[in-house]
Structure 1
Amino acid sequence: MLLGYSMLVALSVGGVVVLALSGVTVVLRPGVDLVRRVVAERVTVGEPALGELVVRNTGRFAVPELLVVDRVGDQPVEVPVGRVRAGGRRQVPYRLPTHRRGRLVIGPFLVGRRDPLGLFHRAQPHGGTDVLWVHPRVFPANQVPVGTVPDYEGRAEAVKAGTTAFAALRDYVPGDDPRRIHWRSTARVGRLVVRDSVDTMEPTATVVLDTRSSVFDPDSFEHAVEVAASVAQATLDAGRSAGVDVRVVGEPVDPADSGVTEMLDRLAAAALIPDSDPLRLVEEVDQARPGAALVVVTGADDELVTAALAERRRRFAPIVVLRVVPAAHGPVATHRRRGLAVVGGHTARDVVSAWNLLVVGGVGR
């Protein structure tokens, strides 16, 4: 302008206008609604999982091509979306990564827009979140040996099918069988009291997964989770879902708060905890129902843990310790004594194979 070059002034003004229009195209939020559909919310590691993005144009003008990025856990997944006409909709299927186990939060979407000249790019969040449960792999395993449920009158021994054992006394409730009234206690307390009993032959098995980082590295822990899943699933497949108790060291008090609805969900969400205290594992064992068959899945050899479990042979029958250790640790020693067996291996497949041989040979003999 100072030198009087009107042509350069015109070009400069035109350049500013183009720059401003390019910026406006990415600043304005596109008039679209994004909906995610997860075809299967629960899959196994490595199985295909499919998501579907439904894009609906709610504006009066066509929406140019969009680059939508969905996030599955900490992994971004790009979903290119073609032009959507005004008032139209487009469905775009895409694959969800399932290469690792876990409770994976999906979303929210990031919608990327770029101006036609490629000068500006902006990503804006859209939509909500969903959860994808990627379960650990399960290997064919023999059924957990059924534990003996303790007789609450003082014995802990196997009983014949159909029998019951005394559990507690409680106040009479209309509808209770009058034959269950405990007359001596009724006379003592001055109100009707009945005996509560439990079925002593309800098959029970407890599987405890150690999660201490002092006994696992990340790879061996994944194998340990698969071992726990395989052993527990074998009992579920035998129709004994009511008698399987899966316990995870360091698990939240109420796992249902995170959406857990089944055993494999709990194992999918299991994570290493920064703890080396063997008492954490033993405390979890002590909270289990006595009389069950106890299977402890842990890592590197820990004599303190083995000794503590051996002291609990009167509460559980039998006790099996399954160890998953890295190959660098060398072969896993096998111990076997009355009521207690310790076997292991370097991979989940190896440990499950050793478990199957142990069950066939008779656990704890």
Structure 2
Amino acid sequence: MRPGVGLLVSTLVLAGAVAVTGSVLALRLFYVWILVLAAGWLWVRLSIRGLSLESGAIPERACAGSSIQQEVSLNSASRLPRFGLTLQAETDLPGADSAPVHEIVSGRGASLQTNYLLVKRGRFHLGRFRLTATDPFGLFHSRTSLGEARQITVHPQAVPLPPFSLLGLAGSGLSRRLPEALSASASSIREYTTGDSLRHVHWTSTAHTGQYMVKVFDADRSRHRAKNYWVILDMAAPAHSGEGSQSTAEYAVTLAAALARKYIAGGFQFGLIASQHEPVVMPAAASQKHLTDILDVLAVIEPRGAMPVAELIARHQGLFGSDSTVVTISPSNSSALTEAYHQLTSRGGAAAFFLIDGADFGGPSPAAAGRSLIQLGAPVYLLRKADSCAQSLEQAAGAPGWVRDWSRS
């Protein structure tokens, strides 16, 4: 029963008792009840009058997995204390509905701090609050909204990207042809990663640092050195499975963001192509603003595309040249990925694949596609369901796709 209906029924019952019994006691109880109702109603109406709210600034952008704080001041036009006030954030931010409700005793005003845990990427609104006044008897409640909602874009979670041997910053990603074109002298050294030849270990630096260090060679033909990196992000709805943070789509987006952060930070040109209702194409660039723009797109992208990833690659292959390394992220089990690999490498560039094992998320397995790509010599990494996407990346870096017994899938 709604509170208002309950109060009305109680009033009618008391009035009926007075009319039927004619009791003086019943009449007095009726009068007291009316006074209580009037006092409660007046209390809640006066409690929220003359109140204003000022909220501190929030960042325009943040990263999932982090938290932000907001200072809030509730100001009163009256110096009289007010009791029975509570303040709670009105926001579409996931998880904020479980935030604590602040009890307010307002004289001249009150200041408090609201903490928000950003559990999901997306675009949300913060800064508006719901003020609730309750009378001492708990009979009446009055609510009003205060403050101005501000938009915040939550970027995909920042996860450390393990050293994938064919995609490291020091290498060009040209795994099959680069050894033919190495010059005799090394230009620099870097940490050893899985797949490096032990012939290239720089023993002096290894002894000095306590970690294996390898020589980095200049390519004699500069056209074979990767100057730009592209990510093909498969967001076609039929290919994805799972929900929330444990979904193939979330793993794909988190990996795309990690690659963008790492390669742009390394000074490389980076571009993104993703399938949506209309393909999203962000030409390769290397500025911090470009990274922000990419992360803004990845913050809100969802698996709503209809174009298969192989068709997406075929439509945009003209963007890739001999100095390009193209990374495809997909849970697709389509055999057309083999043709996509031929298209990507036909111009002299390099291609690698991160396949997400949809079988772990209740969807199809990419085993057939992975087996075909491996037979062509394509670098393939398999991301499997783990406690977190970061853990899945660690496992993929330590165990490339060809280590898995695909024949049993």
Is the structural similarity TM-score above 0.5? yes
Question: Contact (CA 8 Å) 2:133, 2:143: kept in 1 or not?
Answer: yes
Are 1:299 and 2:331 an aligned pair? Answer: yes
Alignment-derived partner of residue 246 in structure 1 = 272
**Aligned counterpart, 1:117:** 137
Paired residues of 1:66 and 1:111 also in contact (CA < 8 A): yes
Distance of 2:314 and 2:226 partners within structure 1: 24
**Pairwise CA RMSD:** 3.7
SS in 1 for 2:33: helix
Post-superposition, which runs of at least 4 consecutive aligned residues in structure 1 deviate over 6 A? 199-202, 251-255
Give the partner amino acid of 1:128: E
Q: Secondary structure at the match of 1:266?
A: helix
User: Is contact 1:294–1:320 with CA below 8 Å preserved after alignment?
Assistant: yes
The one-letter code sitting in structure 2 at the alignment partner of 1:236 is: I
Equivalent in the alignment of 1:344 = 382
**Between the two proteins, what is the percent identity of the paired residues?**
19
The aligned runs of 1:305-320 (5 Å cut-off) are 305-315=337-347, 317-320=349-352
Distance 1:274 1:247, change over 3 A: closer
1:164 counterpart residue number: none
CA contact (8 A) 1:147 1:205 kept: no
Q: Which has the higher contact order (CA 8 A, sep 6+)?
A: 1
Aligned to 2:156, which of 135, 159, 162?
Answer: 135
**Shift in Å, 1:280:** 6.3
> Which whole-Å CA distance do the structure 2 matches of 1:125 and 1:103 have between them?
21
Task: Please identify, of 329-338 and 55-64, the stretch whose mean Cα deviation from structure 2 is larger.
Answer: 329-338
Question: Using a 3 Å threshold, how does the CA distance of structure 1 residues 276 and 8 change in structure 2: closer, same or farther?
Answer: same
Aligned to 1:73: 93
Contact kept in structure 2, 1:30 and 1:63, CA below 8 Å: no
Give me the whole-angstrom Cα distance separating, in 1, the residues matched to 2:35 and 2:320: 75
CA distance in 1, matches of 2:155, 2:77: 34
Aligned counterparts of 1:301 and 1:227: Cα–Cα separation in 2: 19
Following the alignment from structure 1 to structure 2, what is the Cα–Cα distance between the partners of residues 97 and 288?
39
2:44 to 23, 26, 34: 26
Structure 1 284/111 Cα, relative in aligned 2: closer, same or farther at 3 Å? farther
Residue 208 (1) aligns with residue 227 (2): no
Q: Is contact 2:83–2:105 with CA below 8 Å preserved after alignment?
A: yes
Q: In structure 2, what residue type is equivalent to 1:66?
A: L
Output aligned runs, 1:27-42, within 5 Å. 27=45, 29-37=48-56, 41-42=60-61
Mark the CA change 1:30 to 1:323 in structure 2 (over 3 Å): closer, same or farther: farther
Q: Tell me which amino acid in the other structure corresponds to 1:234.
A: K
Q: CA deviation at 1:73?
A: 2.1
Distance 1:330 1:286, change over 3 A: closer
TM-score, normalised by the number of residues in structure 1: 0.68
Deviates more, 1:314-323 or 1:294-303: 314-323
SS in 2 for 1:123: strand
Which 10-residue stretch deviates more, 324-333 or 292-301? 324-333
Contact 2:232 2:327 in 1 (8 A): yes
The separation in 2 between residues aligned to 1:11 and 1:297, in whole angstroms, is 74
Mapping of 1:126-205 within 5 angstroms?
126-130=146-150, 131-142=152-163, 143=168, 146=172, 203-205=227-229
DSSP 3-state at the match of 2:158: coil
C-alpha distance in structure 1 between counterparts of 2:159 and 2:121, whole Å = 12
Count of residues in correspondence between the two structures = 302
- Between Structure 1 and Structure 2, the one with more helix by share is 2
Report the CA distance between 1:235 and its aligned residue: 0.7
Counterpart AA for 1:54? S
CA distance in 1, matches of 2:311, 2:133: 51
Can you give the 5+ residue segments of structure 1 that lack an aligned partner in the other structure?
149-157, 159-198, 359-365
Post-superposition shift, 1:47?
Answer: 2.6
